[in-house]
Chains A and B, each alone.
Chain A
């Protein structure tokens, strides 16, 4: 069965540094991967989508990569700020309609 694996341990980094979060998937590569941000007590918010044929995608301070050989996506936040502290979720489609989400990685940016 298809799985999404994210590091469940919290990631603490110093303000201004680059945060790198990892998403590993199993089985065949999906057509695209999605990254969401979730704050405590809130629903996830869509951040970025990267397609299978895209190696890298950027949006402001965010960068996502997609490596089909390693079956991995990396999510980077450059010049991190305390406001970036949240849980970041990776998701892929499984089958025609269903989505599988990882458990998320909690990021804490220290001032």
Chain B
């Protein structure tokens, strides 16, 4: 079946602009995660969705970052007034479990470059 998809695959933007990153999880997966991966670094947790609610937003680095999920499927990560330090790969993962979601299935990521 289809895996996790993300769009766009690459995004170049100017500092101060807003960007929207999209994630389409595997159908039926109730758990959804967003991560950020800077060059040469590990994955940095941003936010977790259980269904349409986000019980853990602790990883969002600032109030410029927000995310939503609708219909227990598609999720959008929005970064407002982008800064150069926001340049990174943004990865989305989904899991069939709600609590203790074990295996995460990752998308290919969106490579964001802020000039």
Q: Which B residues contact A (CB, under 8 angstroms)?
A: 4, 33, 35, 40-43, 45, 48, 50, 55-56, 58-59, 91, 93, 99-109
Q: Identify which of A12-20, A41-49, A53-61, A70-78 touches chain B.
A: A41-49
Closest to B41 in A: A103
Q: Which A residues contact B (CB, under 8 angstroms)?
A: 4, 31-32, 34, 36, 41-46, 49, 89, 91, 93, 95-104
Distance in Å: Cβ of B57 to nearest Cβ of chain A:
10
Distance in Å: Cβ of A92 to nearest Cβ of chain B:
11
Chain B residues whose CB sits within 8 angstroms of the CB of A41 once the complex forms:
108-109
Contact assessment for A49 and B102 in the assembled complex, using a CB-CB cutoff below 8 Å = yes
Query: A43 vs B43: C-alpha distance in the bound complex, in angstroms?
Result: 10
Closest to B54 in A: A97
Chain A residues whose CB sits within 8 angstroms of the CB of B93 once the complex forms:
43-44
Query: A91 vs B109: C-alpha distance in the bound complex, in angstroms?
Result: 18
Chain B residues whose CB sits within 8 angstroms of the CB of A98 once the complex forms:
45, 48, 56, 58-59
| Pick from B48, B102, B109: contact of A43, CB under 8 Å | B109
Chain A residues whose CB sits within 8 angstroms of the CB of B55 once the complex forms:
96-97
Q: Provide a sorted-by-A list of 27 A–B residue pairs whose CB atoms are within 8 angstroms.
A: A4-B42, A32-B102, A34-B102, A34-B103, A34-B104, A36-B106, A42-B108, A42-B109, A43-B4, A43-B91, A43-B108, A43-B109, A44-B106, A46-B103, A89-B43, A91-B43, A93-B100, A96-B56, A96-B99, A97-B55, A97-B56, A97-B101, A98-B58, A98-B59, A99-B43, A103-B40, A104-B42
